[in-house]
Amino acid sequence: MTVAIVGAGIAGRLLAWRLAKLGYRVELFDKNKRDDECACSFAAAGILSPLAELEMAEPDIYQYGSRSMKLYQEWLPQLTQDVFFKVTGSLVTAHGSDKIELDHFYRQVQRKTRELKIVEAELKSETIEKVSVETIEPELAHLGQGLYIPSEGQIDPIELLKALAFEIDNSVNVNWHNQAEVSNVSAHKLKCGSESLTFDWVFDCRGLGAKGDLPLRAVRGELLWLESKDVNIKHLTRLIHPRYRIYVVPRPNDIYLVGATEIQSEDFSPVSVRSSLELLSAAYSVHRGFGEARIVKSVVNCRPALTDNLPLIDTTFGLTRVNGLYRHGILMSPAVIEKAIREFKHISNHDLEKVQHAN
């Protein structure tokens, strides 16, 4: 059975890798060059925090994210190349004048976890603890009280995407068509350039490229990479503020990722002055050592979102659409892809049985 996958972001690559491992022949189409880092997944910070996301997100985000945490631990050892991944917990805090927002965060997460009765057994293994920030991050003692979530962590999206590309390149079951602009996708068919191609199944993972077929909007995100030897933060740290949520993500070699702006715009231009000031001011307020940090990279991309900000997995015979991963793409993708493959196998096997029965 030969399937086509359109789009080589995190969803397309995970899907190609998993389907190839299951023995399917995969034709992967992407409009970009093979080594381009154009997919919005490359601009992600790689935060894996399903419980913290419950404050503002729907329960579905928690469920996909929680399942993905388990899948990452199962799937990453199957990759040839190493991928930075760790679960050391996350810290949520606020400045003194914003502690009321921190209390609101805590109440929201606690309320939503109580409502998640279908995953109650899983939630027993997850906690959100009220702590003195100093006990988790000694250099952030000035922030006073905070919240600690031991079950959360992070992954390096760039290493993940490159490791998946390596697996795809070395799989006899996958043929990667780069710089292949697909203009139309339908059940069993797609149009690439002037060619109309037919497959046993088509997976549409184009993100914003599917705006002609889905009610998608773009959400711009901006991220700064800072290098500082004067900062020693070990845990993913979120700073709660009435207007925004800023995170500081520690990486090896004295690198810290600072984000995240969230702007309703399909604008791929460089980081704005306003966003830079907000991100850098927030980082400096978290740790004064960032005052002498060096800005080594700024990243901008636009993420696909549907009206409900939830992921779409829509499967009909011959076509599966995966889209709307919004700002949770890295967090949710393994579980989303697992579900997409499960639906695909169920429907394709069911229809094959009907054909065989009719004959």
> Can you tell me the distance from the alpha carbon of 333 to that of 316, in angstroms, rounded to the nearest whole number?
20
Question: What pLDDT, on a 0 to 100 scale, did the predictor assign at position 348?
Answer: 85
pLDDT of residue 350: 63
Which residues of the chain have a pLDDT value below 70? Answer: 117-126, 350-359
pLDDT at 124 (0 to 100): 53
Residue 158, classified by CB atoms within 10 Å of its CB into exposed (0-12), middle (13-18) or buried (19+), is middle
Q: How far apart are CA 348 and CA 169, in angstroms?
A: 27
* Model pLDDT for residues 53-68, shown as the tens digit of each residue: 999 889 999 999 999 9
Residue-averaged pLDDT of the chain: 92
pLDDT score at 351:
57
Find the distance separating the first CA and the last CA of the chain, reported in whole Å.
Answer: 20
Residue 155: φ, ψ to 5°:
-140, 155
State the pLDDT at residue 349: 79
CA angle 299, 300, 302 (to 5 degrees): 145
Q: What is the largest CA-CA distance in the chain?
A: 74
Q: Tell me the percentage of the chain whose pLDDT exceeds 70.
A: 94
Q: Given this model, what pLDDT does residue 263 score?
A: 85
Alpha carbon 184 to chain centroid, angstroms: 26
pTM for the whole structure? 0.93
Helix (H) or strand (E) holding 273: helix 273-286
Q: Write down the pLDDT at residue 356.
A: 44
Please report the pLDDT score of residue 355 as a whole number: 40
Q: Could you tell me the two tokens for 302?
A: 């636009």
